[in-house]
Each structure stands twice: as structure tokens, then as C-alpha cells.
Amino acid sequence: MSDLLRSRPLLSGFIAIFLLFLVTAAFPIISETKQAVVVQFGKPARILGATRAGINFRVPLFEQLVWIDKRVQSVDMDRQQVLSTDQRRLEVDAFARYRIVNPLLMYIRAGDEKRLQTALVPILGSEIRNELGQQPFAALLSPERQGVMENVRRKLDRVAAQYGARIIDVRIKKADLPDGSPRDAAFDRMRTAREQEARSILAEGAKRAQIIRATADADAARIYAASFGKDPDFYEFYRAMQSYQTTFLGDDPNNPPAGTNIILSPDNDYLKEFTGRGR
């Protein structure tokens, strides 16, 4: 060994590098997030790291590794227009989460992860359209309730299973009315509903105010009647006295009544004694 190193330093250097390469290639490090399909000349043979991450073994040069993500991944659908059974449109944004559970199958059927995604996207879109299209508009707003999303998931999962993937869930991210007339119509409806509400609030307020006033009038009348009714004749006199004062003198010093000339006849009750004929 040392003879070789001394006599042929360049060659032995190459051999050392080659040996190092063989060792690292033979014992690939597989992290927790990845798994690898071992491919022998284009033919998939086995999987590394599906259950155990860490150092694994492969035959260098004869076996290639195709890395496949083990984590939960997302596939996003393009915005889709869905037509409900009552002919109303809704724009839907959805995503599905999946995990590759059978990397071997996935490698054979799809090749790599990107191709799996491109295979899933159109199916996700069409399944969403199909399932949601069988619902009335009101049910579209919360498809989770009707189990519609579970149906989509099951159908998508059936397709994904062929590619060695499992769909964990399908969810709707956004559900909007399309721009233009459907949304404007909704705005109009909201606006008119508010205007109606405003009017009815005003009317209700006016009604309650009127009732309060009427009740107060009635209460006042009752109080007066209970008191004054004890002696209507005296009330007549008592009130007349008050009325004279108000009429001739006013009860507001800033706003005196119009000037009054009183012409008294000697027959007047007030001057009864003045004329001396009282007795």
C-alpha cells in the first residue's frame, strides 16, 4: 500500500478519491423528511427510508436514488367557476393536502413529484365542479356541512391511490361571487335591505315616541281629573283666577302680553262696594 503511494502518487490519489466516493454513495444519509426509490438501470427495485431514516445501503453505480418527499404536501387548484343547481355562479379556490405513501407506485406511475401534482390538479378541479354543481347555491356556501368536501376527497383519493398518494383533505379556501353582475346584484340586495331596515327603525322609533306622548297625555288627564273632579265648581273659579293672571300679566317677564285696557262698568262685581250699593 505504502509502496504504491510512494511509486505512483497520482494514481493512488485517484484511487483514494474513488474509494471515498464509493463509500459515501453506498451509504446514503436519508433525512426524516425524505424517502428514496432505488432504481436499478431504470427499473425501480425497493424503497429506502420509508420507515427508518438514517444511514442506508445501496450498491453504488448500479443503483440510482430518486428522492421523494415524505411530508404532507399541498396541491392548489386554479380558481374555478361553479354553477349551482339553481343556476348561480360561484368562484371557488380549493386546495388538497396529500402525502406520498407508496413511493414505488408513485415513481412507476408518475415519475416525479411535479408530474404527480400536474396529474392531480385537473382532477381536483373537475371533482370540485362536479360535486358542487349538484348542490343548490345556499349549500355551496358551506359545503363542509353537507359532506360534499368529503365526497371530493374520496373521489380524488381514488385517483391519487393509483399514484401511491393519499389525500388527507380537500378544503375550500375561497368562495366568492364572480365580479360583475352577480356581485353587484348582491351589493344591491344588501343596500336595499339596509335602506328598508333604516326606514323600519325610524318608523318604529316614531311609533314608540307617539305612544309615549299619548300615554303621558292620558296620565296627565287622569291626574287632573282625579284632583279637579273633587269640586268642579271650585275648579272653574280657581282656574279662572289663574287664567286672568296669565292673560293680563303673563307668566313670562320677557314676553309680556299685549297691552290691555279694562273698561269697568259700575255694575261689575268688583266695584260692587265702590259704588256704595253693596249693602
**Is residue 145 a contact point for another protein (CB under 8 A)?**
yes
> C-alpha cell of 16?
483514494
Instruction: Specify which residues 227 forms β-bridges with.
Output: none
Q: Which of 78, 190, 251, 277 binds another protein (CB under 8 A)?
A: 190
Site for another protein in 73-102 (CB under 8 A): 73-74, 95, 97
**Is residue 194 a contact point for another protein (CB under 8 A)?**
yes
**Is residue 181 a contact point for another protein (CB under 8 A)?**
no
**CA separation (Å) from 188 to 86, 109, 181?**
20, 51, 10
**Is residue 4 a contact point for another protein (CB under 8 A)?**
no
Q: Please count the other Cβ atoms lying within 10 Å of the Cβ belonging to residue 144.
A: 10
Long-range Cβ contact pairs of 86-89 (< 8 A, separation 24 or more): 86/136, 86/137, 88/137, 88/182, 89/177, 89/178, 89/182
- Give the H/E segment covering residue 18: helix 9-26
Q: Cβ of residue 260: shortest distance to another protein, in angstroms?
A: 5
Q: Which of 3, 255, 276, 279 binds another protein (CB under 8 A)?
A: 255
Q: For residues 275 and 23, give the distance between their C-alpha atoms in angstroms, rounded to a whole number.
A: 148
Q: Cβ of residue 141: shortest distance to another protein, in angstroms?
A: 4
Q: Of 122 and 136, which CB lies nearer to another protein in the complex structure?
A: 136
- Give the H/E segment covering residue 40: strand 34-40
Binding mask 105-144 for another protein (x = CB under 8 A): --------------------------------xx--xx-x
Site for another protein in 32-71 (CB under 8 A): 32-34, 52-55, 69-71
Binding region for another protein (CB under 8 A) out of 7-15, 27-35, 78-86, 101-109: 27-35
Q: Cβ of residue 123: shortest distance to another protein, in angstroms?
A: 19
CA dihedral for 178, 179, 180, 185, sign (positive or negative): positive
Q: Which of 263, 276, 278, 279 binds another protein (CB under 8 A)?
A: 263
Q: For residues 62 and 64, give the distance between their C-alpha atoms in angstroms, rounded to a whole number.
A: 7
Torsion of CA 260, 265, 268, 274, to 10 degrees: 110
> C-alpha cell of 231?
269640586
**Is residue 271 a contact point for another protein (CB under 8 A)?**
yes
Binding region for another protein (CB under 8 A) out of 36-44, 101-109, 119-127, 267-275: 267-275
**Is residue 31 a contact point for another protein (CB under 8 A)?**
yes
Site for another protein in 149-168 (CB under 8 A): 168
